[in-house]
Copies of this chain bind each other. A is one copy, B any other.
């Protein structure tokens, strides 16, 4: 055993979530715990064909060392693709990543000293919280309502805490499914510009919209290069390929991200970037997204119908898209304590506690994922969940 570990690991156990995910390898448990796209939405034959084409056309380039800045054709096609979210960027402002998670790691590497403040939604994506904690950021929760993060609270905390970073998932947020309202997007961009704070806009779910009109990204309102935009191909093409991209219009910050990436993995695997590039240029993506949206919409609706059959004291979100619902039981219920019994009965979720930067007071909440469960499994799993909660006195 090494003499001592780095202090960034103090208080990091990583065990709770890892234990939950270990449970999910048990195929007899209906899992609403993950954040996986539907396995039926994955396209091994198409990906295989795109890989063959890429290697046939450009094989030596793909297999040789590449540039840290990324595979040039993908920088171009991704820049083009992001336009539909109103994100305007030149190819050299796009940095391909090994998943958006790498973007979170690199932006922290560039900016965060131990003790620096960061504003995070409350609740927030747990994988992001773990990254921020490993950089020993001081996490300051932002209040939310049905319209997403509350801008007045952001401004108050910018003034009080002088944060280095603000982290938001504005569209179909993980874990709540909530979407930041249009006017708030404009205002939060203005705050980032005015106070010179870097805002991370993490946007992996924006294309999974089942109703209502698409909203422009916060990045589209950025007048001062303060917004770092992250998007991922994990939810719409494949998470296993691990391809995402950052849009960074601040040149000096981009340079830091690239140096950080160089020292982290030299460059992203080129074959994977080439596959995604070919997919983006194939003209097939729009149809594929329509198809998965149709399925996910039905799955979300089924889960909400089932929740409507729970006692009225159970509250849940009604998102316009994404892959998650957020559920609140009456005070006194403890989703963490109930999880072992839930999995014993054959259903899993993630207790809400894990999504909060600061401990306490959220034991009665849970996150439910519907994208990787059939209508039948949703019916069965939600029936099991209702039975459990009712048996506990709901």
Contacts and interface: CB of A to CB of B under 8 A. Distances in A.
Contact of A64 (B36, B131, B252): B36
Interface stretch (A46-54, A169-177, A206-214, A350-358): A46-54
Among all A-B residue pairs, the 5 with the closest Cβ atoms: A44-B59, A63-B238, A14-B259, A48-B55, A42-B63
Q: Which of A127, A164, A270, A271 has the most CB of B within 10 A?
A: A271
A131 B261 CA distance: 10
Q: Which of A239, A265, A268 has the most CB of B within 10 A?
A: A265
A35 B64 CA distance: 11
Q: Which of A3, A42, A45, A258 has the most CB of B within 10 A?
A: A3
A27 interface: no
Contact of A256 (B5, B34, B105): B5
A134 interface: yes
Given A6-B111, A198-B2, A242 B259 contact: no
Interface in A1-53: 1-9, 12, 14, 18, 34-37, 39, 42-45, 47-48, 51-52
Contact of A242 (B2, B113, B265): B265
B198 A239 contact: no
Interface string A57-101: 001111111100000000000000000000000000000001101
A9 B59 contact: no
A198 B45 CA distance: 45
Given A6-B112, A271-B241, A1 B250 contact: yes
9 contacts: A1-B250, A2-B226, A3-B197, A9-B256, A39-B64, A61-B240, A64-B238, A105-B265, A269-B269
A1 B253 contact: yes
A1 to B, nearest CB: 6
Interface in A235-281: 238-242, 250, 252-253, 255-256, 258-260, 262-272
A102 interface: yes
A186 interface: no
A42 B270 CA distance: 14
A258 B14 CA distance: 9
Nearest to A255: B14
A304 interface: no
A178 B311 CA distance: 72
Contact of A241 (B18, B36, B63): B63
A63 to B, nearest CB: 4
Nearest to A106: B264
A34 to B, nearest CB: 7
A109 B256 CA distance: 18
Contacts of A262: 14, 18, 127, 130
Contacts of A7: 113
A56 interface: yes
Contacts of A255: 14
A110 interface: yes
Given A65-B36, A110-B5, A240-B64, A102 B264 contact: yes
Contacts of A102: 264-265
B239 A101 contact: no
A241 B42 CA distance: 21
B109 A240 contact: no
